[in-house]
Structure 1
Amino acid sequence: MITTVEPATGRDPMRIALVLVVGMIMATLDQTIVNVAINKLSMEFHAGLSTIQWVATGYSLALGAVVPTSAWLVGRFGAKRLYLTAISAFAVGSVLAGLSWNIESLIAFRLLQGASGGLLMPVGMTILLRAAGPDRLGQLMSTLGLAILVGPLLGPVIGGYLIDEVSWRWMFFINLPLGALVLLLAVRVVPDDAPEPPRALDVRGLLLMSPGLALVIYGVTAAGESAGFATPAVLVPLLVGIGLIAAFVRRSLTISVPLLDLRVLGNRVTGTSAVLLAVFAGGYFGSMLLLPLYFQVVRGESALVAGALGIPFALASGVTMQVAGRLIDRIPPGRYLPASIMVALTGFVLFVIQLDADAPYWALCLTMVLMGAGGGGTLMPVMTTATRPLSREQQPAGSTVLNMISTTSMAIGTAVASVTLGALLPVTGGLQALHAMTADQRAELAPALADAFQHTYLIAPVMIALALVPALLLPRR
């Protein structure tokens, strides 16, 4: 949620925006760098894919859980102090993650990273609006968009190099000098502010939502390990999680100051856009775990090469995102969004069709351009479409709800993709068994491994195709 006050004087808003960009790049680097490391982490900790995926899923869940509390925290502690604390906590969490001694400790420290990283964007936007005022916000927000472009572009490549040539631990340690640089600049550039009387925080809602989501995802991953849902280890967490989420939804619709104001979804355009976002984000982001794994497990590439081969995807997504914001202001959403979704769907379908053990890289990269362009052209415009019909007072709440939907869908999509792939791998023991094989044994198994990835990748185009349904229901004028 963004707090609007009079613009601060005496500080250049562009300098403030550039400092915030460096902080956000640190968080987006870390979010994308881990996907390249999944195979290495599985090998290092002797853990299966359903367990290792919590390194990414736990980060997303923690990130989403903390976003609704950002407005209360800004009021309680002040924007600058909270931002400096979040940067410091993220750097400390990164160092602890690099020092992890087992998979459980790594997941725990990733939760700390996600909780602190989730504050950087909403608190940074509050700082920027206070410094510049609403008149210059559009220009400065486009500057913040650099983080969305640079992080996913450089993260997999830097991470791949560190994993191959140094150590997987350095993909976390690298955040320490970055965090120190951001702290030094922010102390000097970001204007001071005083805490304000915060609104009430719905603690009960927070205690219902976060454990509920975690239990549902745990139930899904446990179902993959148990090859079904008909066991207490699966049913109990799944039903308890669903019950907690249902209680959270009921509470959000009945109390005056909820953690998430779900009543904004009562607007037809906002509700329809939210459904579109949930389905599209689940398929789109869920598939991101698979791409570097395919290049490493099936094609035998290094982490660096796997990261570099993802550049067309990230570059197309970031560049298209910069253009899409202008297009959605000119073209009705009911016409623009179906076309953008079709671009993504075409890319994913072509990618799945040719995904085998010998697919030429140039052809895969061409389809990745379509995949990335369709994703970058859809995600921000659907957020704009969802918040546009809301009143000025409702827009911060709507933005928070939509960000929560996006991060939750990302976590669920990642969990479902990893569980599905783990179940389809043609070896008993999953990734651990593959790590124990010789290069010749893995090469002989490559066609069957490619089939497993191909069938898992089908989840993405199916969900993206389903997103066309709500997109076609949006206004065409």
Structure 2
Amino acid sequence: MVTTSEKLDPGVVRTALILIVGAMAVVFDTTIVSVALHTLAADLDTSVTTIQWVTTGYLLALGIAVPLSTWGLQRFGGKRLWMFSLAVFLAGSIGASLAWNVDSLIGARVVQGIGGGLMLPLMTTLIFQAAHGRSLGRLVTYVALPVLLGPILGPLLGGAILTHLSWRFMFAVNVPFCVAGLLLARRYLHLDTPDPTSDKPRLDVRGLVLLAPGILLVLLGLANAGAAAGFAHPDVVVPLIVGITLLATFIGYALRKSHPLVEIGLLAKRSVASSSAVLFFSGFSLYGAMLLMPLYYQGVRGTTALTAGLMLVPQGVGALLSRTVVGSNVDRLGARVIALAGFAVVAVATVPFALAGPHTSAWLLAFWMVVRGFGLGAVTMPVMVAGYLGLDKQQIPHSSVLTRTAQQIGGSFGTAVLAVILATATTAHHESLAQAFHVAFWWSVGFSAVAVVLSLWLPGAQQSQQRQAVVPGRTSPVS
């Protein structure tokens, strides 16, 4: 039985910190770019609609690369794949910093997305494999650290660069993290080269042909829905229908194949299915509301883009504060209780924005942002733990792909849906922009309430302890 007094293996902590150094480049890159699109559009003499592909192209490439991490891990080993993906991200960062027009910048961002898509699930997989299923609650605080620090430091770093330096330094700032991450990985990560005498895993090409375009087309349709302020457009409907059809075909194919690109059959386990569903709606709560917050501050309160980005920092502070409080209690309380409380806090802390106007106290809203961030941070850690409970070493990478993809698609879908809701509400309340935001924020509250209900499906404390007590290398009988 795993107890809360069990200490983490120092070797596991070292592995986690080495991987986090490289992962910080990906997290910083995402949060820095989010506050710079207006500046990029002006400097590269292009429209905001076109410059949005600097973000969209990155997300599409990331979505395609995520499923490849499982095969790459089995084929080349964790250390080699990690260093390769970090080198790809480094190349994309250098290319973006040297971009001569918007097309070259978008192309470099796609390269970054490929590296980042391999890195994010791989980081989680390597850390949890190193721990052999022990003390997952404490361990996840290290896994979540980049996600918690990014919203705090990213906008500040991006604002400082845009104010005092060229936008090119937004991408050049990734280089030190990548170089340090490569050197540390080369020196200290364990070389887990696959057994040369065993059969080398083959890439599931048919599965990749179905899954990768399916994810790409779904995300493309959702991105187009946000840009077109609605779903009733051919460039939205066609990609969504084709993408969903491909994904449905892949699911049927993966359930029949013995070793598919992604083990869809893992969704038969309650821990994986429930965590994927909850992470999907956590994407709604986090990314969907992150669309609304800066627009609210700029449109209703008249702040600059930089100030709007800085106003998001309190949410990151709240998420960081949750790390200490929640991390030490995940193993004891279980995912269900903490996720229920976390999403309830997110819902309550979003209500003030559904009631706020142009002159509502900025300090009061900052306070509620801290509270909201605390709830989101509390949710992230236990749900991540739940997705790996009861799995053996070979199943962990597949669970990582499933949960990461669910969260990303949830974030994209939540962003598109709230963009459509906001556009519709703006038309209906054309005399009061604040009223339009009230409608959108109430919908955000509703999405968080749905996540509260879904959290009841997560494993409880007793189930979590039973699954962590299983001998490493065997699958828990509890499912």
TM-score (norm 2): 0.81
CA separation in 1, counterparts of 2:16 and 2:334? 30
Partner of 2:117: 118
Question: 1:379 maps to which residue?
Answer: 380
Give 2:278's aligned residue: 276
Which deviates further from its counterpart, 104-113 or 400-409? 104-113
Q: How many angstroms apart in 1 are the aligned matches of 2:157 and 2:170? A: 8
Q: CA deviation at 1:142?
A: 4.0
Return the letter of the residue paired with 1:113: Q
Equivalent residue for 1:37?
A: 36
Matched, 1:472 2:473: no
1:69 aligned partner? 68
Q: Structure 1 stretch 306-315 or stretch 61-70: which is displaced more?
A: 61-70
Shift in CA distance, 265/41, structure 1 to aligned 2, threshold 3 Å: same
Question: CA 1:458 to 1:209, structure 2 compared with 1: closer, same or farther past 3 Å?
Answer: farther
Structure 1 pair 349/129, CA: closer, same or farther in 2 (3 Å)? closer
Q: CA deviation at 1:86?
A: 1.8
Which residue of the partner structure matches residue 209 of structure 1? 211
Amino acid at match of 1:360: S
Q: Secondary structure at the match of 1:167?
A: coil
Please name the residue that 1:172 is paired with.
Answer: 171
> Residues 267-310 of structure 1: CA distance to partner in whole angstroms, max 9, x if unpaired?
34543343222123223222223333433454443444333322
Q: What is the aligned partner in structure 1 of residue 3 from structure 2?
A: none
In the other structure, the counterpart of 2:405 is: 404
Contact 1:58 1:111 survives alignment (8 Å): yes
AA aligned opposite 1:253: L
Q: Contact 2:63/2:216 (CA < 8 Å) preserved in 1? A: no
- Following superposition, the deviation at residue 158 of structure 1 comes to 0.2
Deviates more, 1:50-59 or 1:246-255: 50-59
- Which residue of structure 2 lines up, in the alignment, with residue 188 of structure 1? 187
Q: Are 2:60 and 2:216, in contact at CA under 8 Å, matched by a contact in 1?
A: yes
For the structure 1 residues 129 and 344, does the alpha-carbon distance in structure 2 shift closer, same or farther, using more than 3 Å as the test?
closer
Contact 2:83–2:182 (8 Å) recurs in 1: yes
Task: Give me the whole-angstrom Cα distance separating, in 1, the residues matched to 2:230 and 2:11.
Answer: 58
Quote the residue 1:331 is aligned against: 333
Aligned-partner Cα distance in 2 for 1:75–1:331:
34
Hey, what's the Cα distance between the residues in 2 that align with 1:148 and 1:172?
18
CA contact (8 A) 2:70 2:398 kept: no
Residue matched to 2:261:
259
1:42 & 1:416 partners in 2: Cα distance? Answer: 25
How much does 1:373 deviate?
A: 1.2
Deviates more, 1:370-379 or 1:175-184: 175-184
Q: Distance in 2 between matches of 1:148 and 1:191?
A: 25
Deviations 1:373-406 (Å, cap 9, x if unpaired)? 1111112212323432556654443233112211
Separation of aligned partners in 2, 1:232 and 1:148: 35
**Contact 2:140–2:385 (CA<8 Å) still a contact in 1?**
no
% same residue: 39
Tell me the amino acid that sits aligned with residue 165 of structure 2: V
Note the C-alpha offset of 1:217.
Answer: 3.2
* Separation in 1, partners of 2:135, 2:272: 26
Task: Please tell me whether the aligned partners of residues 140 and 384 of structure 2 are also in contact (alpha carbons under 8 angstroms).
Answer: no
Distance change >3 Å, CA 177–CA 276, structure 1 → 2: closer
In structure 2, give the amino acid aligned to 1:330. Answer: R
Is the CA contact 1:95–1:173 (under 8 Å) kept in the aligned structure 2?
A: yes
1:456 and 2:440 are equivalent in the alignment: yes
Q: 176-185 or 364-373, which moves further after superposition?
A: 176-185
**Compared with structure 1, are the counterparts of its residues 119 and 218 closer, same or farther at alpha carbon in structure 2 (3 Å cutoff)?**
closer
After superposing the two structures, state which structure 1 stretch, 307-316 or 261-270, moved more.
261-270
Once the 2 structures are TM-superposed, how far is the Cα of residue 159 of structure 1 from its aligned partner? 0.6
TM-score between both structures, scaled by the size of structure 1: 0.81
One of 303, 307, 310 as aligned partner of 1:308? 310
Q: Which amino acid aligns with 2:455?
A: A
Q: Is the 8 A contact 2:351 2:445 kept in 1?
A: yes
After superposition, where does 1:8-407 map in structure 2 within 5 Å? 14-44=13-43, 52-124=51-123, 142-196=141-195, 198-223=200-225, 229-354=231-356, 356-390=357-391, 394-407=395-408
Q: Report the number of matched residues.
A: 449
1:47, distance to aligned residue in structure 2 (A): 6.0
**Could you tell me which residue of structure 2 aligns to residue 8 of structure 1?**
none
Q: Structure 1 275/131 Cα, relative in aligned 2: closer, same or farther at 3 Å?
A: closer
Contact 1:45-1:102 within 8 A present in 2 as well: yes
CA positional deviation for 1:109: 2.3
Compute the displacement of 1:93 (Å): 0.8
- Cα offset, 1:156, TM superposition: 1.0
